[in-house]
Chains A and B, each alone.
Chain A
Amino acid sequence: NAGVTQTPKFQVLKTGQSMTLQCAQDMNHNSMYWYRQDPGMGLRLIYYSASEGTTDKGEVPNGYNVSRLNKREFSLRLESAAPSQTSVYFCASMGFGGGSNQPQHFGDGTRLSIL
């Protein structure tokens, strides 16, 4: 019973390097989300995908790109990492309820450090 699986769990990058964070869910959920969590800031939405084939910007999209590869998978890419992107990244999914009236299910997070 995996739920939402994120890889990797930890990563250290140098400024300017690129990488992709992977997320997969096995609950047949329509909506998927990427958040970042910084001290004192709570969870901030980077991008989300309300259904397969669609993606939309959240509150802090600059410096990131996403791909909704299929219904299960939603990846987050940093093209040129910057120290300001040091954070803990969470992927989440939500079942269809015609809006936000279903709980979100979160992965375990990816701790990313940019040197």
Chain B
Amino acid sequence: ILNVEQSPQSLHVQEGDSTNFTCSFPSSNFYALHWYRWETAKSPEALFVMTLNGDEKKKGRISATLNTKEGYSYLYIKGSQPEDSATYLCAFGSFGNEKLTFGTGTRLTIIP
């Protein structure tokens, strides 16, 4: 069983502040690293899929970086807004199959 860990488990951030959280994954047999946003009572929605060491992706105020050699990815949110409140999941894909192993998520709450 692959170990994908996310930290912190939960986070409260004041509106307007920036924040970041971490996903750790196995550094061997890497193929892809996914980030999803999961709002309460909805289904997960893809934010980014990253495949290359050093990849940086950006969507509006949200960005992500990838280090495959040491096995971690950071997700950054700049100028947090209430609509950013959600659980953020990362998922690791290994070479040779179409499966993903998900972390347990970071639950982000933005305080107005």
On A, residues with C-beta under 8 Å from B are 31, 33, 35, 40-45, 48, 50, 58-59, 90, 94, 99-109
Contacts and interface: CB of A to CB of B under 8 A. Distances in A.
A99 B49 contact: no
Interface residues of B, number: 27
Give the one of A41, A42, A107 with max B CB within 10 A. Answer: A42
A104 B46 contact: yes
B49 to A, nearest CB: 5
A109 B93 CA distance: 22
Given A42-B103, A58-B99, A104-B34, A99 B93 contact: yes
Given A42-B105, A101-B49, A106 B95 contact: no
Given A99-B98, A101-B49, A101-B51, 17 more contacts: A33-B99, A35-B102, A45-B99, A50-B98, A59-B101, A90-B43, A90-B44, A99-B93, A100-B31, A100-B94, A100-B97, A101-B31, A101-B32, A104-B100, A105-B46, A106-B43, A108-B42
